[in-house]
Amino acid sequence: MALTSMVKVLEECRISPPAGSVSTTSLPLTFFDLIFLKIPPVQRLFFFEFNHPKTHFMTTILPNIKHSLSLALQPFYPLAGHITWPQESDIPEILYTDGDSICLTVAESDNDFYHLSGNHPRDANEFYPLVPNFEQIQSSDKLVPILALKITLFPDKGLCIGVTINHIAADGRTSNQFMKTWASISRLHGHGHNTSLPTELTQPLYDRTIINHPKEIEQIRLDILAKVRATKNASTFSAAPLVPVSAGSVRATFVMGRSDVIKLKQWILTRLHNEKQIPAQLHLSTFVVTCAYVWVCLVKARIGNKYVANVSETEDQKEYFAFAMDCRDQLSPPVPVTYFGNCLGFCMATSNRKDLIQEDGIATAAELLGKTIQIARDPATVWELMARRFSNIFSIDLQCVVSIAGSPKLNVYKTDFGWGKPNKVEVISIEGTGAISISEHTKEEGALEVGLVRNKKEMDAFSSLFLNHINSLPKM
């Protein structure tokens, strides 16, 4: 079946905040926003079980979804606006004008809902019909949309809410707060949400002056603007949209269960103790253990049989593991959790490949990741690390970088519109970056989900390593 025939569009509409509720407003982009100038939009799919026919959805559910979306956009009004760079301004900005709106597409699919919302390997291109796209805007001001939504009904089986959001405007915390606001208002059918919802869901903070850049960061910001300004009349800051991946790419989700985490922690501690390498304050969280295990499995899957043969050929090859850290509480003064926008610091652990593929590779990876997080948590080093990351980012071999999209702290599985929490959440945009996604598990407390897209050969190798490596670890 052709991809385009999987989904039938039922309706396309525009949703605005309530008329007259928000006046024309502009927000300048900060250093944290400018980092994402050329990063593709974040695309996420929420799959919900929904055992109702199409008539019930169209007459009862959809009107409530639209109404609650409009109410949710009132406090999060920048999402209905655009990113632009006025001729008279030195920096790009988010501009909201009264009446601005987002595109909401409503569709129907006869595809297998449970197949798409499973964990097993699936053709990565099967998901694209569920992803909303930004409309093309013809304007001399180069207006760039921020948010697009698509709701696809699988009659009598489920719903999929697709989200495409421009990372220039919002990080994971901000976009997640918006989704939970929309879901909560929907669950309450638009009644009493102003008094019953927590402040972080109803009162985003838009004060840009709360973030104070040191001089060295300000210079980096100016350098970024200078480079972008040179192409201001061309692509400006509109990242290329994601396109279907090459044939043969598959998407799968792997679960790091709580018992596996406990076993790995014990094994890592024992190995480090035997080598007398346990740091005074070893940071060995579930996140660290999972990332260490996945990092080693991914490197081995990528290089194939080389890791069991002569590793001297690549012993000096560097491998990198990169992830973002919310640094709202690391800045001085701390930035409230309600801050709207991007406020992410970037962490990167570096290792020689030979150290990762050796017998103690997972312990080595865990120690490196733990140290990286501890250093990044020091408020005194936040800006120094940011400056260092951007000074050498272009010298890194991106094929040797594993990066993360999402975070278990976002609690995406607590997004409830009134018909229960999602039974699956997929980050589609990792297909264009080679990243992996990490989130809390939909059911098991203390477990994590790891999503990735790879060619079938590499996915098969990773799957074998991930599922069997824990049981084959050398004895402690």
For residue 102, which of 131, 75, 129, 70 has the smallest C-alpha distance? 70
Q: Which one of 18-22, 31-35, 447-451 scores highest in mean pLDDT?
A: 447-451
- Residue 85 is predicted with a pLDDT of 85
Regarding predicted confidence, which is higher, 232 or 363? 363
- Residue 88 is predicted with a pLDDT of 79
- Residue 398 is predicted with a pLDDT of 65
pTM: 0.92
Beta-bridged to residue 12, according to DSSP, are 105
From its phi and psi, is residue 288 left (phi > 0), alpha (psi between -120 and 50) or beta? alpha
What pLDDT band is residue 271 in, cutting at 50, 70 and 90? confident
Are 252 and 126 in contact by the 8 Å Cβ rule? The answer is no
When pLDDT is averaged across residues 72-93 and rounded to a whole number, the result is: 91
Q: Which DSSP string corresponds to 329-387?
A: TTSSSPPPTTB-S--EEEEEEEEEHHHHHSTTHHHHHHHHHHHHHHHHT-GGGHHHHHH
> In the chain, what percentage of residues exceed pLDDT 70?
86
Q: What is the mean pLDDT of the chain?
A: 87
The DSSP symbol for 189 reads: T
Model confidence over 130-153: pLDDT tens digits?
999 987 655 545 688 999 999 999
Residue 252, CA distances (Å) to 87, 123, 186, 205, 451 in order: 45, 9, 30, 37, 6
Integer Rg of the chain from CA? 23
Q: What is the dihedral of CA 80, 210, 44, 244, to 10 degrees?
A: 80
The backbone torsions φ and ψ at residue 404, rounded to the nearest 5 degrees and listed phi first, read: -115, 140
Are 293 and 462 in contact by the 8 Å Cβ rule? The answer is no
pLDDT at 454 over 90: yes
User: CA-to-CA distance for 132 and 104, rounded, in angstroms?
Assistant: 8
Q: Which one of 85-89, 210-214, 324-328, 459-463 scores highest in mean pLDDT?
A: 459-463
Model confidence over 89-136: pLDDT tens digits?
878 899 999 999 999 999 999 999 999 999 999 999 999 999 999 876
Tell me whether strands 7-15 and 102-109 are parallel, antiparallel or unpaired: antiparallel
When pLDDT is averaged across residues 450-475 and rounded to a whole number, the result is: 90
pLDDT at 431 over 50: yes
The alpha-helical segments, DSSP class H, found in 188-284 are 193-196, 199-202, 215-229, 258-274
As a whole number of Å, the end-to-end CA separation of the chain is: 51
- Residue 142 is predicted with a pLDDT of 64
Are 244 and 413 in contact by the 8 Å Cβ rule? The answer is no
pLDDT at 307 over 60: no
- Residue 427 is predicted with a pLDDT of 97
User: CA-to-CA distance for 230 and 232, rounded, in angstroms?
Assistant: 6
- Residue 1 is predicted with a pLDDT of 43
- Residue 234 is predicted with a pLDDT of 38
When pLDDT is averaged across residues 202-230 and rounded to a whole number, the result is: 79
pLDDT at 314 over 70: no
Could you tell me the two tokens for 98? 């009264």
Q: What is the dihedral of CA 1, 43, 38, 208, to 10 degrees?
A: 160
> In the chain, what percentage of residues exceed pLDDT 90?
63
Tally DSSP H helices, then E strands, for the chain: 14, 17
Could you tell me the two tokens for 300? 């081995």
For residue 342, the number of C-alpha atoms closer than 13 Å in the C-beta half-sphere is 22
The residues annotated with a catalytic role in the active site are: 167, 416
What pLDDT band is residue 312 in, cutting at 50, 70 and 90? low
- Residue 400 is predicted with a pLDDT of 79
What pLDDT band is residue 306 in, cutting at 50, 70 and 90? low
pLDDT at 394 over 60: no
Model confidence over 279-295: pLDDT tens digits?
667 889 999 999 999 99
User: CA-to-CA distance for 126 and 114, rounded, in angstroms?
Assistant: 13
When pLDDT is averaged across residues 307-331 and rounded to a whole number, the result is: 77
Regarding predicted confidence, which is higher, 348 or 384? 348
For residue 169, which of 28, 48, 324 has the smallest C-alpha distance? 28
Q: Which DSSP string corresponds to 104-123?
A: EEEEEE-S-HHHHTSSS-EE
- Residue 136 is predicted with a pLDDT of 65
- Residue 39 is predicted with a pLDDT of 83
Taken in order of first residue, the domains within the chain and their CATH numbers are 3-221 (3.30.559.10), 249-472 (3.30.559.10)
